[in-house]
């Protein structure tokens, strides 16, 4: 069974919550974790789950719609557009390396050695869903 | 009139309960510095940095929430059942010419629904600085008990059909009250009258309260679907889904009582009236017996719904990780 993708909002982050949502949803769509035609959660449901205002989620959805990643239809909810661009494999690989480098840099700053870094990655892979 | 009074008092009581539930939800929780940032267990925490709660602790804290939510929603549900029994009993004892008795079931169901809504409103949303939600679309049909919902839908259709026919065929009684008896012409100058008959005298207030109950049920189901999740980890989500399923079962059960009790009453009264007329056509006899036969599944449905409403929730199914 494939784990369902999840969204995380950090209210202490200086990035506004709507932008955090927009960025994560855009990444999920571009990484094909959300396929064309997939329905996004209803505004009120997602707002309740994240403890945010409905307007905050609505703004994130509007931004995604402006970027052509999703389309909204009255009564049909908000769905991933059929024309939503997905990342090519080369770009996917580049992003993976970038994230890995950033993590290793951060871990080194914390004083972790190679074994500790590998252990941390194993633990994270055991507890986190691929798309979360 | 007394029925309207009972409803008005009940509505006021439940409005107060709903406000209390909402206020309980809005009360701020103690601040818990939860962060989901992954930090290796052996890594030293820099001085001055926010202490990260280990994933296991966060998961344990998240798993405790459904147990509290389960207790709170069960409390409101029980309060709904108890006040519903009281209000239904009051309605049954009041009302003109058996009208209160006919409305007792819907009144009971309406109070149970109000209890479920208040319970769902009382579930507090996610707090803390880091919030997580799964990308999912929750739908009513994912939580409804299919068998019971189908039976309740069939009973609703049967009630609507029966009451429509009885309303159309009813006549005024000897005091001129419209829609209270059944009149049958037995000859050029001969009439037979039998009552009570579920004409407009009974069916109009019944339709109003059943429609209000079904609308409330729809709102209750929406509240069940839209309320915040009590956690985003798999264990908490499974417990939360069980909680929603339990609420949806209660709503369906309340709808069943709301519809099946007046249906049983209407069947019984209509069959009695049809079979009591001596000059009735032959097909009225069949119709009367068919209505009596219909009573068997309807009574079974009432028993099923009562079991759903009164049986305690299986603790293991609601909150597997509750301590």
Question: Domain containing A122: what range?
Answer: 89-127
CB contact, 8 Å: B39 with chain A? yes
Kindly list the residues from chain B whose CB atom is less than 8 angstroms away from the CB atom of residue A5.
134-135
In a domain, A109, yes or no: yes
SS3 B260: helix
Distance CA B203, CA B198 (A): 6
Residues of A in contact with B127 (CB under 8 A): 51
Check whether residue A38 and residue A72 sit in a common domain: yes
Give the domain extent around B286. Answer: 2-25+57-126+141-147+206-318
Check: complex ipTM more than 0.95: no
Residues 14-73 of A with CB under 8 A from B: 25, 28, 34, 39-42, 44-46, 48-52
The domain spanning residue A51 has which CATH number? 1.10.10.10
**Cβ count within 10 A of residue A111:** 12
> Which is it for strands A6-10 and B130-134: parallel, antiparallel or unpaired?
antiparallel
d(C-alpha B139, C-alpha A64), whole Å: 23
Give the whole-angstrom CA distance, residue B200 versus residue B182. 12
Check if the beta carbon of residue B223 is closer than 8 Å to that of residue B121. Answer: yes
Contact check, Cβ <8 Å, A6/B134? yes
Q: B147-190, pLDDT tens digit by residue?
A: 999 999 999 999 999 999 999 998 888 788 888 889 888 888 88
Instruction: State whether A73 and A96 are in the same domain.
Output: no
A113 part of a folded domain: yes
> Is A8 among the domain residues?
no
As beta bridge partners, residue A39 has A79
- Separation of CA A62 from chain center: 16
pLDDT confidence tier of residue B50, bands split at 50, 70 and 90: very low
Q: Are A99 and A69 in a shared domain?
A: no
pLDDT at B126 over 60: yes
Total domains in the fold of chain A:
2
> Is 0.90 surpassed by the pTM of this model?
no
How many domains would you assign to chain B?
1
Contact B38 A10 (CB under 8 A): no
Closest CA to B101 of B85, B110, B111, B90: B90
The four Cα atoms B76, A44, B234, B243 give a dihedral, to 10 degrees, of 20
Q: Are B76 and B122 in contact (CB under 8 A)?
A: yes
Residue B228 pLDDT: 86
Give the closest-approach CA distance of A94 to chain B in angstroms. Answer: 22
Asked whether residue A51 falls in the same domain as residue A94, the answer is no
Crossing angle of helices B282-310 and B234-276, in 10° steps, is 150
A6, part of any domain: no
Q: Does B28 lie at the interface with A, CB-CB under 8 angstroms?
A: no
Number of CB atoms found within 10 A of residue A132's CB = 19
Q: State whether A72 and A100 are in the same domain.
A: no
Interface of B with A in 202-231 (CB under 8 A): 225-229
Residue B136 is assigned to a structural domain of this protein = no
For residue B78, tell me if it sits in a domain. yes
> Is position A2 within any domain?
no
């Amino acid at each position: 069974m494939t784990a369902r993708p999840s969204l995380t909002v950090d209210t202490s982050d200086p990035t506004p919550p709507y932008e955090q949502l927009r960025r994560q949803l855009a990444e999920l769509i571009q990484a094909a974790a959300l396929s064309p035609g997939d329905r996004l959660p209803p505004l009120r449901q997602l707002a309740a789950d994240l403890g945010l205002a409905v307007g905050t989620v609505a703004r994130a959805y509007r931004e995604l719609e402006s970027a052509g990643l999703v389309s909204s239809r009255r009564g049909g909810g908000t769905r991933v557009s059929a024309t939503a661009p997905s990342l090519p494999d080369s770009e996917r690989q580049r992003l993976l390396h970038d994230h890995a480098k950033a993590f290793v840099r951060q871990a080194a700053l914390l004083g972790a050695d190679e074994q500790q870094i590998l252990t941390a990655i194993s633990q994270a892979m055991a507890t986190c869903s691929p798309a979360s | 009139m007394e029925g309207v009074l009972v409803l008005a008092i009940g509505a006021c009581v439940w409005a107060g309960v709903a406000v209390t539930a909402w206020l309980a939800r809005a009360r701020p929780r103690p601040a818990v510095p939860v962060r989901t940032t992954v930090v290796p267990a052996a890594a030293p925490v820099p001085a001055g940095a926010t202490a990260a709660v280990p994933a296991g602790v966060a998961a344990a804290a998240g798993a405790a929430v459904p147990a509290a939510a389960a207790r709170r929603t069960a409390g409101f549900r029980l309060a709904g059942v108890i006040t519903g029994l009281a209000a239904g009993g009051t309605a049954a004892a009041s009302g003109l010419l058996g009208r209160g008795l006919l409305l007792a079931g819907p009144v009971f169901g309406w109070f149970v629904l109000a209890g479920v809504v208040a319970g769902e409103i009382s579930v507090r949303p996610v707090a803390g600085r880091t919030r997580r939600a799964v990308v999912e679309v929750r739908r009513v049909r994912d939580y409804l008990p299919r068998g019971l919902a189908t039976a309740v839908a069939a009973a609703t259709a049967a009630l609507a059909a029966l009451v429509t026919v009885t309303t159309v065929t009813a006549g005024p009684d000897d005091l001129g009250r419209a829609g209270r008896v059944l009149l049958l012409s037995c000859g050029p100058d001969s009439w037979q009258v039998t009552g009570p008959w579920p004409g407009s005298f009974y069916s109009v207030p019944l339709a109003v309260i059943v429609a209000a109950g079904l609308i409330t049920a729809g709102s209750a189901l929406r509240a069940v679907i839209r309320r915040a999740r009590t956690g985003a980890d798999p264990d908490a989500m499974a417990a939360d889904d069980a909680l929603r399923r339990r609420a949806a079962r209660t709503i369906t059960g309340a709808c069943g009582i709301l519809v099946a009790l007046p249906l049983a009453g209407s069947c019984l009264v209509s069959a009695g009236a049809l079979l009591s007329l001596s000059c009735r056509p032959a097909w009225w006899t069949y119709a009367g017996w068919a209505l009596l036969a219909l009573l068997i599944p309807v009574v079974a449905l009432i028993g099923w719904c009562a079991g759903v409403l009164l049986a305690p929730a299986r603790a293991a199914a609601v909150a597997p990780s509750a301590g």
